[in-house]
Amino acid sequence: MQIPMKKYIPNIPESGKKRVVIAGGGFGGLKLARLLRKSDFQVVLIDKNNYHQFQPLLYQVAMSGLEPSSISFPMRKIFQQEKNVHFRVASLEVVVPHEHEIVTDIGHLKYDYLVLAMGACTNYFGEKNIERYSLSLKSAADSIFIRNTMLENFEKALNETDPEKISKYLNVVLVGGGPTGVELAGALAEMKKFIFPKDYPELDMNLMKIVLYEASPNLLSGMSTESAGKARKYLEKLGVEVNLGTRVLDYDGDCLTLSDGTHLSSKMVIWAAGIEARKVKGLEDDLYGRNNRIKVDRHNRIFAHDNIFAIGDSCLMSTPEFPNGHPQVAPVAIQQAGVLARNLIRIVKQKPLVEFEYRNKGSMATVGRNLAVAEFDRLKLSGFIAWILWSIVHLATIVGVKNKLFIFLNWSWNYFTYDQSLRLLIRHKRKD
């Protein structure tokens, strides 16, 4: 039997430089590639998309407030002047540590150093029905699907006369009281108040419920009880039904079963109750910790593998301050990328490595127009000032001047007109 030859990804030259392969173009992977672009490494960045997306604003795409292109930036544009950086649209399938190479869906690729920065996906905690019938929000495609589903449900509600059936189409359930769930709930409540009555005057908006379920006793688990209480107060003021200490046990596409024994009819459930890292074939099972996070040392190096690293949501680093791992948020990934870039250079120069120490610069979440909560060390802000700070920080973090300008213009238009102008129902037409 003839063994087929390996197919290596073509058109990536052997430069004589040490090759760093980065799997994942999220906050951490992109930051690392940009920091190494002028170094003595050859950098190969792979991602399943040809763009970097700003995940904190995905909910605004889902709620018709922003175009998907406004929060996305083409990878090739970022690195088009960098001869040292090569980008490929590819998905990592297997790591082969003893051969220092990875297998992707487009071929094999050799590495001197491998960095896993593939982020996380939605965690359904083994509930197959919920995974099948609910919606998630982890990508621009997810955002557009949520927008389409919501608008389709409203159109279907117009064709019903039974209030119970109308309510089933109008009800929106959000599961998870983290920033995604809170921000989605607030945006939906404002649409119910300002937009849906104008778009659908034939529908009785009193039949629509926006319900948020959180299994823990408080919203926004990463923030103080004071800020969590403020967020809940804002949501309830906007008309959102907030249910704490309540778990969703099952969902069949029509009806939710809840841990308190009650049921709720809805055609739209958005699951934002948890995330888990993406498992990588080829690594030993004992390297994985809670939620599939890969165990790393204080230099982000995977245990038992000298030249494989993991950063961001993919990794589990235990420190005195964070014995169960760091929060899975963008600042952690960005800061780890900064330290790892320095350490990769130090490895080549045979210098001592720098240990990672997370600097928490603060947390924030917006609930709606002029309503947000923010914490910076001991300083806690809420209301209009927190909302302004949230807007400034997010605008500053977006990649690309054009994207910043488009988002600012969209936000300004929405703020003064009380109108999101991107309520487009776009369907893919299949060929017969």
Do residues 179 and 228 both lie within one domain?
yes
Q: Do 145 and 247 belong to one domain? A: yes
Give the CATH number of the domain where residue 193 resides. 3.50.50.100
Rounded Cα distance, 235 and 233, in Å: 6
Tell me how many domains the chain contains. 2
Query: Residue 190, Cβ neighbours under 10 Å: how many?
Result: 22
Same domain assignment for residues 31 and 77: yes
Q: For residues 269 and 226, state if they share a domain.
A: yes
Strand 41-47 and strand 18-23: pairing?
parallel
Same domain, 115 and 229: no
Task: Report if pTM > 0.85.
Answer: yes
Question: 135: domain range?
Answer: 128-273
51 & 62 share domain:
yes
pLDDT tens figures, 244-300: 999 999 999 999 999 999 999 999 999 999 899 989 999 999 999 999 999 999 999
Residue 308: CB atoms within 10 A of its CB come to 26
CB 67 within 8 A of CB 420: no
- Per-residue pLDDT at 431 exceeds 70: no
Q: What is the mean pLDDT of the chain?
A: 93
Spatial neighbors of 85 by CB under 8 A, at least 6 apart, are: 33, 36, 37, 43, 44, 45, 79
Is residue 418 assigned to a domain?
no
Domain final residue pick, 224, 249, 273: 273
CATH number of the domain where residue 340 is located: 3.50.50.60
pLDDT for the residue numbered 23: 98
| Calpha distance 290→316 (Å, rounded) | 8
Residues, the chain = 432
Alpha-carbon span 32 to 425, nearest angstrom: 37
Asked whether residue 154 falls in the same domain as residue 254, the answer is yes
91-105 tens-digit pLDDT: 999 999 999 999 999
Contact call for residues 142 and 297 (beta carbons, < 8 A): no
